[in-house]
Amino acid sequence: MPLALETIRLVKRFGGLLAANDVSLAVEHGEIRGLIGPNGAGKTTLVNLVTGVHPPDMGDVKLGGQSLRGCAMHEIARLGLVRSFQVTRLFGNMTVSENLMTSFFARRNRATGDGTKQIGNMLELTRLGPLADTQAKKLSGGQRALLQMACGFMVPGSCYVLDEPFAGINPVIKDAIIDMIVDVNRRHGATFLVVSHEMAIVRRLCRQVTVMMEGRVAAQGTLDEVARLPEVIAGYLGKALE
């Protein structure tokens, strides 16, 4: 069985800066992989390369064994690779339901019906029901993060790439998001690549983590294994744990 998500020797340069330097990553089906590393390490760049925001200078991305070379962002999304943004990209003037609907329509298929059931489910799961007809721009930061997550779950994808979904969010909503991730992972067997600085959550969710530093993959293993590596402590965790 092919890997759920695989990057093969990705290289991306921004001017003189090597933001992704020979990044190879292999994520198994049903795995929740953590991606950690200091700011500026190239995590978001990697996410952008995987989801088609930037074309890589070299290397390739494979989703379920299929190469994504030359695919546009929307084509990648329709193939079942769903992402969330560090800074939420919602449709501010549209209501919560309309945001969910927009995410539903382009990716819907014969099995999904007309979306009303999913909207109901998502409103219940996120407890955003009372805000269904509120414009997204009027939500709090946490509610926005929840909504963005819910948008991604409207049509189950095969693989989710989440860029710092827990940053700057209150603990209640953090738990709600964690529940959603675990639920989708269990029920649909979806694969996750989660970028986060919150070691407690990473420890709870991820059996394996990948550490990025200066555009490279610096280490890989369980969080406890990588936390023992001197270069990781020196470059990242030492500071993170201070």
Ligand X SMILES: Nc1ncnc2c1ncn2[C@@H]1O[C@H](COP(=O)(O)OP(=O)(O)O)[C@@H](O)[C@H]1O
Cβ-based neighbours of 146, under 8 Å, separated by 6 or more:
126, 128, 173, 176, 177
Cβ-based neighbours of 16, under 8 Å, separated by 6 or more:
none
- Binding map of Mg ion across residues 34-53, x = CB under 5 A, - = no contact: ----------x---------
Q: Could you give the angle at which helices 171-188 and 141-153 cross, rounded to 10 degrees?
A: 10
40 binds, among ligand X, Mg ion, another protein, none (CB under 5 to 8 A by kind): ligand X
**Residue 68 CB, nearest approach to another protein (Å):** 14
Determine, following the binding rule CB under 8 A, whether residue 57 of this chain makes contact with another protein: no
Determine, following the binding rule CB under 6 A, whether residue 19 of this chain makes contact with ligand X: yes
Which residue's CB comes closest to Mg ion? 44
Q: Buried b / exposed e across 185-222, counting CB within 10 Å, b at 16+?
A: beeeebbbbbbbbbbebbeebbebbbbbbebbbbbebe
Determine, following the binding rule CB under 6 A, whether residue 73 of this chain makes contact with ligand X: no
Strand partners, 21: 11
- At residue 128, φ and ψ (nearest 5 deg) are -90, 5
Determine, following the binding rule CB under 8 A, whether residue 17 of this chain makes contact with another protein: no
Q: What is the four-CA torsion angle of 220, 223, 227, 233, rounded to 10 degrees?
A: 70
41 binds, among ligand X, another protein, Mg ion, none (CB under 5 to 8 A by kind): ligand X
101 binds, among Mg ion, another protein, ligand X, none (CB under 5 to 8 A by kind): another protein
Question: Footprint of ligand X on residues 194-223 (CB under 6 A)?
Answer: none
**CB of 24 closer than 8 Å to CB of 62:** no
Determine, following the binding rule CB under 6 A, whether residue 87 of this chain makes contact with ligand X: no
Determine, following the binding rule CB under 8 A, whether residue 71 of this chain makes contact with another protein: no
**Residue 159 CB, nearest approach to ligand X (Å):** 19
Quickly tell me which residue has 């550490």 as its tokens.
211
Determine, following the binding rule CB under 6 A, whether residue 142 of this chain makes contact with ligand X: no
Choice between 97 and 191, CB closer to another protein: 97
CA distances, 41 to each of 44, 72, 157, 211 (Å): 8, 25, 27, 9
Determine, following the binding rule CB under 8 A, whether residue 90 of this chain makes contact with another protein: yes
DSSP state of 132: T
Determine, following the binding rule CB under 6 A, whether residue 100 of this chain makes contact with ligand X: no
DSSP character string of 159-198 = EEEEESTTTT--HHHHHHHHHHHHHHHHHH--EEEEE-S-
Question: Footprint of ligand X on residues 32-51 (CB under 6 A)?
Answer: 37, 39-45
Residues lying near ligand X in the complex (CB under 6 A) are found at: 14, 17, 19, 37, 39-45
Residues lying near another protein in the complex (CB under 8 A) are found at: 51, 53, 72-75, 77-78, 82-83, 85, 89-94, 98, 101-103, 105-107, 151
Residues lying near Mg ion in the complex (CB under 5 A) are found at: 44
